[in-house]
Amino acid sequence: MKIQYLTSASVIIEDKNIKILCDPWLVDGEYYGSWCHYPPLDFCPEDFNNVDFIYLSHIHPDHSSLKTLKKMNKNIPVLMHKYETNFFKNVIESIGFQVTELLHNKRILLKDNLHVNILAADNCDPQLCHKYFGCSIAETKFGSTSIDSMAVFDNENEVIVNTNDCPYLLSNKTASIIKSQYQKIDMLLVGYTSASAFPQCFNISEDQKILEKKRLQNMYVEYAEKYVELFNPQFFFPFAGRYTLAGKLAQLNIFKGAYELEEAYEYFLKSHKINLEKNQCIILNSGENFDISSGKSSKNYKPINLEQKNSYIENVLSTKKLDYEYENQPTIEEIISKIPQAYRHFEIKRKQLQFSSDTKIIIKISNSQNILISCKGEGFKLISDKDLVEITNFVKMELDLRLLKWILDGPRFAVWNNAEIGSHIKYQRNPEKYERGLYYCLSYFHS
């Protein structure tokens, strides 16, 4: 079996003449324009017409990029886990694909001798993955819904495990099940980095952002180490979560809690927890492949040049428009008119969860005006900046009004959690604490 690396979590798994494209995100501009690739990709949809299957691990746009999928051959069958709701399936079918949902932990013969086994991999916990809104749109029950999956590919001789975006602490039980069912793991595809708005979008000092960045970098490579220790693969391949912010958000790249691939590779080479004689770390440039049988790469890895990357960010990516910047600015009155219905939906969800908090939600809508939202049924109101000084417990958010309008117009246009992951929302919190119910309810703050 072979692995061909494309970018981020996008890989092709090949066995003889069978090809499975995993989690295609091959164009710039997901998450409303902010997530782009470096090195840049030259995506040609026709290059993938010979793919036999597409596997989509979960709904996040860097794993199931609609901007990519809309350009691809719709005759390629799509495989995904059978989740508790049909939301993900319906989205992919709406753009023309035939979707096959596979039951949890059921090994299926795809073609010739190639099998796949897809397992629900986590119970969503935004505090662990630092995506504070979580994935509420895909949850049927607060706090107990799997929204990501792991996949095992085997040809009865070699085994590849793809852990996708599943942090070890959320998914080690599923990983242990896989380990118990497969005698040996030949290749482990494992995430090594965070992909969230923290710390770059939070109102903390630059020194604190650097400290938090380093903390997250270390946390995620340690998660990867734990996966390697558990699976004991012959080879492991760090991947996923690799992105560069574009447009007016490009200035935030320096604070992202993410290692460069080369930095992660150096970390693993120096790791005292991994036996590199038994668990060899493999990295590839885009378009190159690794043959598990021979243990050889098609080409030696060529590190990126950071000066060239920074120049590309400054001269190309920073000049890009974000998706909503093509829209006209809404009036303040237009935004305010959408608040009552959004609050009704928020309040319905708050009561369902029996969530109550003294924390106030503040959404900035102009230089001097804000929406103040109660989290214990006391309604909402307009409040001036000068009156905000009296509010002691709060989460304050600021985002472009054009994106706020999309979110308020409903999930067909934009959703809170993708705006957050895309680094479009600036946060200030007092005290500095996380209340999951607050963000979960706020996910329903739309018409």
Mapped onto helix, strand or coil, the DSSP state of residue 280 is: strand
Q: Between helices 206-231 and 168-181, what is the axis angle to 10°?
A: 10
> What is the pTM assigned to this prediction?
0.93
Answer for the pair 360, 430: CB distance below 8 angstroms, yes or no: no
**What pLDDT sits at residue 146?**
58
Amino acid 167: pLDDT = 83
pLDDT band at 166 (very low <50, low <70, confident <90, very high): confident
Q: Residue type for 258, please?
A: A
Question: Does the structure show a pLDDT above 70 at 16?
Answer: yes
Domain spanning 332-442: CATH 1.10.8? no
Q: Report domain extents, the chain.
A: 2-317, 332-442
The two structure tokens encoding residue 436: 């999951």
The whole-number average pLDDT for the span 300-308 is: 97
Whole-number average pLDDT of the chain:
94
- Position 86: which residue type? N
pLDDT at 241: 80
Residue 229's pLDDT band, with cuts at 50, 70 and 90, is: very high
Enter the tokens of residue 206: 């630059």
Find the mean pLDDT for residues 408-424. 97
Architecture of domain 2-317: 4-Layer Sandwich (3.60)
pLDDT recorded at residue 121 = 79
Strands 99-102 and 78-81: parallel
SS3 at position 392: coil
Taking residue 348's Cβ as centre, other Cβ atoms within 10 Å add up to: 12
Confirm whether 2-317 and 332-442 share one CATH topology.
Answer: no
